[in-house]
Structure formats: structure tokens, C-alpha cells
A and B are shown apart, each in its own frame.
Chain A
Amino acid sequence: MDGQNGIPRALVIGAGIAGMQAALDIANAGFEVVLVERQPSIGGHMLQLSETFPTLDCAQCILTPRTVEVGQHPRIRLYTYAEVDRVEGKAGRFRVRIRRLPAYVNWDLCTGCGLCQEKCPAKTSSEFEGGVGLRKAIYTLSPQAVPKKPVIDPASCIYFLRGKCRACEKLCPTKAIDFEQRETFVEEEVGAIVVATGFDLYPSAELGEYGAGKIPDVLTGLQFERLLSASGPTAGQILRPSDGRIPKEVVFIQCVRSRDPERGVPYCSRICCMYTAKHATLYKHRVPDGQAYIFYIDIRSAGKNYEEFIRRAMEEDGVLYIRGKVSRVFAQDGKVVVWGADTLSGRPVEIAADLVVLATALVPDPDAHRLAEVLGLELDADGFFREQEANLRPMETDRPGIFLAGAAQSPKDIPDAVAQAGGAAAKVLTLFRKWGGGGPSGR
């Protein structure tokens, strides 16, 4: 692009921690950013977490200043509940079409008072709570949502299902409800793109031997995270979904479909060793007379203060680490029985637990295939976005002007996702500097 002019304006796809970091870095350098998020509000998976490792910071407390900054930034144009539909052109001038999903709420009129959510009579399982909590048919992801504007889910809305109700419409003080809303498209022009679409979790329905989805007291790590969260469905109390009792024996299983080329994914999901240690630690802090067991293949704690964090779980919180895999989990007499192997002693292990938590593999976002096609990018064998070169060009793609950030490229924890996002932003700014000559101050 040397010697050519490009539009010093960036598109960031995905507003999780990586996308927000990239957007803020570019915007704070003085350039405009178009930030597109599929969910109704920004923050991504991090907003679902209770605490973060290795510091045990409250995730929402450190994240909400960021979401607010993104939401109010004069140089960030935010499209939530939207997806990138078409991209044409090349580095310097991409023409981007964005599909805005119908929220059935006129966000220009909505003040975010929350009355509609309070009065909506339809309840359904909440995706944000990982299925362990409920939401209304008109909802925001969380009380701290940015933007604090609700959407109506036609799959659970009584009006959409049965043609009657419209309670929200009657109650809305600003007449913002609009059942006639349709999807709309907007066009934007940008010079560079950052892909930060993050990850998903391996589907629970395919974890038969662990009883996931069948036994109520078998949870995924993300569901357990919601139980730990002060803003979660139990207000931070650890209670068994089946009977609401405090579990006294909890078994955590690592590498559920990670490092399992036959049945799951071949790669290490990288965050499970750490968050499982965090889960066990937080469990012990809340239930001091309880016992936590962790089944592991080996412990991967390569990160600043990570190994110390694991040691603290073992030594100070008495978490029992068992090296081996679990072959079967089943319900029996009100317990969740775990069969596994202790491969250090070479003996089978059976634990009658109250609760089982599965550290399921991180997998690429299910929309990655479509988006890769839209962007003309390649995915790697595992379905993550392929970087141009693994060692020296981890943020670049094969298409000039399109960069990668966070777990869209490979599984990452928060510090690594943030670091790569900052790097991707720097790559974008390098291009802008080239195109603009003197940069924003000189224009």
C-alpha cells in the first residue's frame, strides 16, 4: 500500500475483550472505528465470568469501565445485534455491508428503563446464563449491558408465538416497541479490518459419557462460572441445580474433548487448567468444608503467576488433583458418580460427587465459516482463522489490511487476547500512518 491512500477508518468484528481492546486502541489514536457485534450488547464471554485468573479480579468490575468507554467513545460507531454481511474491495478501501437484526425495539426511542423486561410474562432459558438461569422474551444480556437497549426474541415472545400479548408495547413509556421492524442493512467504508470473533464451547449434547445435558448436576465450566458470579442466577451461591443444596464434593474434569483427536479436538484449549484451578479455589472459598477434586492429564500453567496460582489451589485450598481421565459419569441415589483412573497409582477411582463441572473444549465461533467466506480468509484445520505465518505474523492474514485478534485465531486467555488485540491495532495504525502521512494530528 506504500504510496497509496487508504481510508484511515477501521472495522472491528466482534466486541468481546479482544475486539474492544483493538477498537479502543485505534479510536484512542485518533481514528474512527466501526465496531460490529452479533449479540445485543458488547463484552463477550468475559462479561459472563465471575473472577479472572490469576488475580481473582471481579471480571465485571474490570470490564464494565471498558464497555462503557466503548459505548460512549466519540470515534467508535457501534452496531450491536448486527453482523458483517458482505465485504468488497481491498486494503485501503473495503466496502462493508452490515446486516442489522430486528430488535423489535426502536433503540432511538428506548431509554433503557427496563420496564418492559420487568413486566414481560414470557420466560425462557438464558443464553448468557449458560442455561442455568432464565431471561424474559424481551431482554438485555445483563443489567450492565452496553448499549442498555433490549431486544425481543421471537422464539419465546408470546405475541410472536400466539399473536397476543403486546404487554411491552402497552407499557413502554416512549412507545419504542415496534413489532413490524425488519432487518436493515447499512454500508460502511473502511481501510482495515480486525477479526475478533472469539470462540464457542464444545456442544454439551455431544458429551454422552459425562452425562452433560442429561444429569442436572453436571455443568459446563461456563455454567459454573455463572453460579459463582454475584450477578448470576444464584447471586454467587454455589447450589446444585437439582435440589438447591450446597454441594460438598465437587469433581472438576479437565480436557473434556480437548487434546482428544478421536472424539473431540486435537489441540489444547489453553485456558482450562487455569480456570478449573480458579473454580476449585473459589468453590473452596465459598464452601470451606467441601472437597474439590480435579481430574487432569497434565497441568499447563505457562503464564505469569500461573504456576503459583495452581500451587495455591493445591497447598492452601486443599484441592485434590488426580492425574487421569474420567470414563463415565452417572446419576445414582442423588449423587453424581464419577468413574475415572488415577494413572499415577494405576488404580481406578470412584467418587460419589454432588456436582460435576466439565472443562469443555474451546471451539471456533460457529459463524466463522460464513465470515471467512465473506472476508475471503482461510480457516485452519481446526476451524480457527488462519494467520499468515505462525511465528512472525500471528496477527496478519493472507489478505492485506485484515488482521486477527484474540480467540478467533486460536484459544487464548484474557491477557493473551488483549495483547494480540493491541498488536492488531498497532498493525492497523501502521497502515493508517502510511496512508495518512502525518497521521491524525497532521490531517
Chain B
Amino acid sequence: MVVPYFPGCTLSTKAQGMDRSARASLRALGLELQELPEWNCCGAAFPLTTDDLRLAGAVRNLVQTAALGQDRLLVLCSTCYNVTKRANRVMGEDGARRERINFFIEADYDGRVEVVHLLDFLRDEIGFEMLREKVVRPLEGLRLAAYYGCYLLRPAEEIALDDPENPHLFEDFLSALGVEPVEYPHRGECCGSYLALGAPEVALESSYRILSTARASGAEAIVTSCPLCHYNLDRPQQEMAVRYGGFHPLPVFYITQILGVALGLDTGDFGFEKHYVDPRPLLERIPVAAAIY
């Protein structure tokens, strides 16, 4: 089956490992990702939107999807997912803004495309039970902390992927891969987001809390679907090691990387070498698959 796919800017540049592991993993599951033709940046900052111009980019991508005759768009990056889904909701529910945006981009779009994330896509399209059967390298004994961050959960009524206070979708996914998901308190707290640029101290503190409580709860690594969270959680661990006594580094995986590992894929182009905290030693513990696709 062919699935229309919006990679977004970061997955095409800094987070190429996420993009490549996504394509390889879904191919292994019998799904071909079809990159949206002539896609553009989603706009990236829906929450900061003061006029409808910012929505135009995301809407244009949705228009492209509809033009393919598709009614569904897979978005992997948490930020792109959040922005695109919310922009789509505006087009579906807010008549006045729909008219204005359509006029501006010379389109006639009504929010008919469903914006899906990898988590609900796998749950609904393949099913976690079926996914479990496709796993050839079960990640048994690996204690991973699902990190939702903000964008996968909030605003609750607009994203509606899971209960923002007690989510379980990510953990259900990890369980299907054989992982024992770790319960820790800050899986839905903000990593610091763009404060990494304007107030790096605040972002560092936020990320440190997430990492340290995950570790204290027994996690050996964090899994995220957000390149911005990855940036805030992975790279600053160098600084954290200096600043916080007793800090132990914790690898941060992309959700698609961990999926690819469990599916027994060749991880050579998953981009692990670009992570600040190298996750490969942890993976060496997991027995290599008996059969490789």
C-alpha cells in the first residue's frame, strides 16, 4: 500500500536518520511511503500564529495530498504533525478562515484529509498485535522511556491522539516491540522547546529533569518522535554532565529508529553516529535477528 508522507524540513536535514528509518521500517511492514510532491515547510509555529498566513504552508501540503486523490497524510515529526493537524482542523471547522486561506493560496480545501502520526497509523492500519508478530528482533530486557513532549498531546481537544495527563499509546507501541516501557513522571512535560535558543538555561533545566527522572525510574534510553525534543534532550547532555553531579548520559532514539531495530533492519543509515550520546552500545545487548528482511 502507498501512503502519502510529509517528511518536513528537519527530517530532510538534521534528522535524516528518522526519515530513513521510517521509510525502511514501513517498507518492511509492506507499506510504501510516497513523499508528497513539492511539499513545503509546515510553518512550524502554529502556537505563535497571529494571522492566517502562517497556516497557508501547512494547508498547501494538505491540498497537495488531496490532489493525489488521497484522504490521509502521514506526518512523523511531532511539530509538523501538531501544526498540520491543527491547520487542517481550522480548514474543516472555521468557515471564515477557511475562505480566507483558500482565497490566498487559490485552493478549495475543506479539511477532508486526515492527518495521522506514526503511532495512530500503526495502531489503526496494522494493529499493535500484528506489529508484535512482525518483530524479528524483540527488544526484550530493554527498558525504554516513551517521551511524548507537548506536541503529540496538546492542545488535547485539537490533537486528541491520547489523554494528555495519562497517555498510553506510545507505551503500547513500545510494548509491541518487546520493550518494557518505563513509567516516569515527566513524559508529557515540555523539553524547553525553542527556549534552547532564547533562554538555554531554562531548556537545559527542563531537559535535565526529564532525563534524570526517566533514568531514576529505570530507563536505559528515551524514545521520541520530535526532532526538536531530540535536539534538547541529546546534545545538551554534554553540558549536563559538567553541571549536574552524578549525571549519567541517556541515549535518545527516534521512534522510527527503534521500530527499525525491532524489525531487524540494517541500521547503517539510521544516523546513530550523529547522536551525541551513542545509542549503539545499548543495542549490542539485543540479540541480532534470526532472519533479516
Contacts and interface: CB of A to CB of B under 8 A. Distances in A.
A208 B185 contact: no
A320 interface: no
Contacts of B186: 330
B185 A331 contact: yes
Interface residues of B, number: 9
B189 interface: yes
Contact of B166 (A208, A333, A337): A208
A2 interface: no
B189 A328 contact: yes
A345 interface: no
B166 to A, nearest CB: 4
Contacts of B166: 208, 214
B216 A332 contact: yes
A328 B163 contact: no
B213 A332 contact: yes
A180 interface: no
B99 interface: no
Given A330-B185, A330-B186, A332-B185, A208 B165 contact: yes
A316 to B, nearest CB: 35
Contacts of A332: 185, 213, 216
A437 to B, nearest CB: 60
Contacts of A331: 185
Contacts of A209: 165
Nearest to B156: A263
B207 to A, nearest CB: 16
Contacts of B189: 328
Contacts of A207: 165
A332 B164 CA distance: 20
Interface in B218-263: none
Nearest to B163: A208
Interface centre among A209, A214, A332 (most CB of B within 10 A): A332
A207 B163 CA distance: 11
A207 B165 CA distance: 8
Contacts of B185: 328, 330-332, 337
15 contacts: A207-B165, A208-B163, A208-B164, A208-B166, A209-B165, A214-B166, A328-B185, A328-B189, A330-B186, A330-B213, A331-B185, A332-B185, A332-B213, A332-B216, A333-B216
Given A330-B185, A331-B185, A337-B185, 14 more contacts: A207-B165, A208-B163, A208-B164, A208-B166, A209-B165, A214-B166, A328-B185, A328-B189, A330-B186, A330-B213, A332-B185, A332-B213, A332-B216, A333-B216
Q: Nearest 3 pairs between A and B by C-beta?
A: A208-B165, A330-B185, A208-B166
Interface of B: 163-166, 185-186, 189, 213, 216
